[in-house]
Structure 1
Amino acid sequence: MAQNVVSRLQEEENELSERLSRARDALKDLGNEVKDNERKYNGLCSQLHALKQQRTNKVTAFGGQKVLSLLQVIETHQRKFKSPPIGPIGAHVSLVNNEIWALAVECAIGRLLDAFIVTDHKDSLVLRACAREANYFNLQIIIYDFSRPRLNIPSHLLPSTCHPTTISVLHTEIPTIWNVLVDMGGAERQVLVQNYDMGKNVLWGFCPNNSPPNKRIRNGRLCSSIENQIQDLENELKIVQELLKDGKLRKRNVEIASQNLEAELQNLKRRRIGEERVFRSKQLAWKDMNSSKIVEPAPGPTTSMEETQREIIQVQEDIKSKELILEQVLLRMNMVEAKASDLKRSFENLCDSANVEIDGIEGAERELLQTEQEIHAAEAEKAHYDRVMQNKVLHDITEAESCLKELQHNREESFRKASIICPESEMVSFEGCVGSNPEQLSAKLQRLSQRLLQETRRFTESIDDLRLLHDNKQLKIAKRQRTYASFREKLEACEKALELRWNKFHRNANLLKRELTWKFNGHLMKKGITGKIMVDYERKILSVEVKMPQDASGNNVRDTRGLSGGERSFSTLCFALALHDMIEAPFRSMDEFDVFMDAVSRKISLDALVEFATNQGSQWIIVTPHDISMVKTGERIRKQQMAAPRS
């Protein structure tokens, strides 16, 4: 009976182990699935963020925020370039009418779209320094001569196929970019096909692996339908998010189920071990009973089954008590072994520390012996020098001391005699007498006597009057000097304050000029135009430079009269908005600012004005004779349209 119970528990345990292993495998698979969905979710989020940046500014599709920082640094250091660099190439290239080749073009020349073009090696070094300043370390720089005209490729050098090439589906207004795509990218030799079979036909049975370098690319960066891509990405992101949430939920459920299985398996193991112990105890008791039957004589008729059961129970109790005693003995033995190992380690540590102390004591003894030897040598030298002092030096010192006493006595006698002739207080009043011998003093006294005689002949006043006049003049001079010193301190303080304010004024003027240029350029970028405002404070001249995106020569228009009417009006509006952004006014008005603009420039200008006014929170009055239906009425925007004048 007990053996059947143990076997049944063993089978249940094996079954639970298999179920637990299957649950763990499923948990591992769910974990991998969740990780894959998380990676996919993060990749879709990064792609969506990049597309939103591209929707705001097309340039960000070819380098992200780093390329914007690089363009600002290039604008700051533009005077260092021989010719302004062109780039990124993708910002100056567009597809011709059909956007189905966007991904194919991306795979063909995708790396060149992020590159910048310079005219010589010196400009490439300057551009590399600008890239380091903008933290754009992997910038691709292409050196190409800007003066070369646009390449004309003969028809016999082009692929003989009816399919389009990469260069045929691209459009650019800058000849240098066209030449770089041909010379560096081989765009005129890359044939674009719609599917794999057409590619085999074009390549005569040979089809290389033309997989894109970035497998996460959903569409080319040159594609203009960004809104559809963003919508598709958002839908897919929602699906992946739901899958991720469902996977985490299923993983959590499997984890709970596996934990329950582990707890049930542990309980079953404990039950099985208990049943095995009971079965073994019964088996041992049965063997002891059989052995006792063989040795002892046959029992009398008074032996009964109850006595046998009592003996079995007694034997089981004895076995359990002995097992408990054995466990206690094993526990004590383990404790004694652990204590013995601890004592052994402490003894080894004590031996090590004793060895270290013995080495230190031996070193100290050697140092002590060396010190005693040095002391004996020093005592011998001291005795030698004492003998030398007694025999030679001490006699000379005694003679020198007696000579010194004699000289001091002679000096005191000479000083007493000299004090009788001229007291020391009078000698101090005369300058330059310290350290002079009698001959020098006699010559100086004779010169002073001659000068006194000459001055007496020149001035008839007495010496007391002259001294009084001298003292008065000295007092006036000291008073004037103190006055001049105070004035000089005030003047220096004023000069420092003036210099500080002048420096602050120049710094603020330069910063305002730079801020005006940045704001002006920021408004111009809405139409793809770049510009700069030059302010000469000394000559009191303000000039505007504008560079159109279609101008590949790199020349800036320094006079707005060289622009068309719409371009000049848009540039003037950007300059006015830059000034309005730097000053405060209760309300502002603009009258017929878009008279000379075309429809595209008028829409961009009206959007810029409305966005500027709503963001700044200022009050604007805009008067225009054109249609303003494109302006949406908002909470803070009011439109008033006057009736047509009567004929």
Structure 2
Amino acid sequence: MGKHVRLLKPEWSKQIETTFGQALESFVVTNNEDFRMLKDLIKRNRCDPEPQIYIGNADPLDTAGKTPDDASLDTILSVLDIDNTLVRNTLIINQAIEQVVLIQDRPAAERFMFDGPKPNNVKAVMCKSNNPDSGLRLERSKFGQPKTSPIHGWPRHVRMQTDREQQIRHQRETVDHHNRLLRTVEQQVNEKRDALIKAGQDFKRWEREERNLKTAVQQAEDAVEEQTHDIEAHRPRDGRLQELENQLKDSKDELDSLGLSFQDAVVQKDKESEASREAKHRLDEHDQEYEAAKARLDQAEQKLARLTADRREALLVKNKALEDVAQAKQTVTELELRRDKQKDNVLEFDRMASAISLRVPLEPGLTARDRDERIERLSRDMQNQEHAAGGSAEELALRWQKAKTEYDDAVTQLEVASARERKLMQTLDYRRLRWKKFRKYIAYRARFTFKYLLSERNFRGHVDMNHYKKELDIFVEPDMSKKDADGRQTRTLSGGEKSFSTICLLLSIWEAMGSPIRCLDEFDVFMDSVNRASSMSMMIQAARRSVGRQFILITPQSMNNVEMGDDVKVHKMSDPERGQGVLPFTQG
């Protein structure tokens, strides 16, 4: 189906391809015979994966009233150009492409989908994400809760046709986006690498400081131990105190002397610092002069390199010009030799012609070239006439004979095809007549059964079927006393009456079609006890009358008030328990 789909906006290519999935690789036919034929072809050719085959109707679907109210919104259907009605109908039915809105900006899409009530005729909204090849699908659950799911870009080759220039422009924008992402990631990697290197350096510095601190702690412990020994050794004894006082006085005198020396050292240090600052200033000036000289040297080297390149290019141009001059001189020499040789040939031809005959006089102003041109002109006129006629006489005769043979064959084939077409049209008309009769009898049976089942509860009604418009509607009148009333439509009935009428319609259709297995799930949810009892009794009686048919009825209600029998079996599920993974079944 993808061969019939053309994308008008390539910027949505990846998201729409992912949304369609394998549907674009599927096929669609109009009847079961083509379905079986195509299925056999796929199996014989061992297609893997096996494509899906749809059966559709060629009549175009009318989407009026089923699209979003805002006509300016883009949907998947509006950005596609589908040239086949079958493909369009299949995508609308299976993908709801007329109700999937496309909005590039994510905040705008979320406001449209989630703010306020759900938009009318909108199933989901697709928007772009940070990666232009992917996106998000915004929709609401059955209970109205917002739901967001990612849309990954289609990884394989595109299957929808697009404008080549727009696709190239979109791919270039995608490549630019990825290049920007790559540069950002590379910048982040470099920053992380620098941070890692710095962290490693800090870690090594902290390890070195840790070792230094451990050494300092060990040294401090040794000093404490040494000071402890000194204290014990210098503890005052008899006559020792006087000696220590003398030592203290000597130490104070020495301290005063060292203080004077320290002041002299500070003054000297200040002088040295001033000299150092002056030297540093001079050094900075020399560095600036060095940088300026280096810059001038670099400019001179660049100029020298540029002049060298210009000189090399000029030498190449000069050598090429010298080679061209030498080649031209050689060409002139060769042409002169050829001229002399042609002159000798002309003289030789003149001598040989004079030996046979004298020179023939020509008309005034008419040369040999003029005669050759006249001959060529006559030859061209003859060729033009043959071309206008389509060939020579022999060729035209052969082509006429071949065309006549092909015409006779075509007339014969046309007569055979016309006869076959008439036969096929007769067969088709006959089959249509049989189909209309078959459809009419099934409709009669469904109508009679529906009226009969309604009469079980003293209801009256009928079924309206329009086969051309493909419409079905039922009219039910719960009051049998109203003979002149045509019946009420289902939307005017109560919940129980509507459920009972629907069950009657379903039972009548089952009976008309002859279904072997008939299943009905939660049919009595909206019924009261009276309607439910009568409906169950009616369905059990209908099941007993349908010999060879099996009825399966699923209900969450109790079955205590249902009349049982040998042919009625009830399977009741036990109440679930917390943490239970398997539901046991008990037979009642």
TM normalised by structure 1 equals 0.26
TM normalised by structure 2 equals 0.28
Q: Which has the higher helix share?
A: 1
Q: Which has the higher contact order (CA 8 A, sep 6+)?
A: 1
